[in-house]
């Protein structure tokens, strides 16, 4: 859950807000260098999140890494508004350098078990998977990337 202090930090407008967010989240993330984060973003389990250099995050993006194997974002990655990157529930996500991610994209590295017909899906647990987005890739608006996928550079 996001606490009140993080809610305030994440919603300070302007250049001052970006500087405050970078200072605060750099101390909480597993690894980070210079990054820019607009208002309204959420980071759950930041100790499991790695940001490379020059990561640009637009408003209302969410990063989930609770019970994650890893969530790593490489250098010079740009995430447009409303992107969800979710490695929770034993998922693993690796986004390499020079990747562009359009608005409203969902990247989720785990899925629900659904084998049993005698139990609701919500009660059956999750299975983790891995997503790799290789260098110099553009993921267009409103895309959904699910577990066990590698997206490579066009050759």
Inform me whether the pLDDT recorded for 87 exceeds 60: yes
Q: What is the mean pLDDT of residues 94-112?
A: 95
Give the number of other Cβ atoms within 10 Å of residue 5's Cβ.
9
Calculate the alpha carbon distances from 133 to 16, 29, 73, 117 in Å. Answer: 32, 21, 10, 34
Provide the pLDDT for residue 102. Answer: 98
pTM of the model: 0.90
Average pLDDT (50-79) is 95
List, for residues 43-57, the tens digit of each pLDDT value: 999 999 999 999 999
CA distance 10 to 26: 13
HEC readout, 100-113:
EECCCCEEECEEEC
């Amino acid at each position: 859950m996001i606490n009140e202090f993080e809610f305030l930090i994440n919603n300070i407008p302007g250049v001052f807000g970006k500087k405050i967010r970078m200072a605060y989240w750099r101390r909480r993330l597993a690894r980070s260098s210079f990054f820019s984060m607009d208002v309204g973003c959420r980071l759950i389990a930041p100790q499991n999140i790695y940001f490379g250099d020059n990561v640009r995050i637009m408003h209302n993006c969410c990063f989930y890494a609770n019970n994650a194997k890893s969530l790593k974002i490489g250098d010079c990655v740009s995430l447009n508004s409303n992107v969800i990157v979710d490695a929770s529930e034993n998922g693993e996500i690796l986004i390499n350098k020079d990747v562009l991610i359009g608005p409203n994209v969902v990247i989720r590295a785990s899925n629900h078990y659904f084998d049993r017909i005698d139990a609701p899906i919500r009660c059956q647990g999750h299975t983790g998977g891995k997503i790799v987005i290789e260098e110099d890739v553009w993921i267009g608006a409103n895309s959904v990337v699910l577990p066990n996928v590698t997206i490579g550079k066009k050759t």
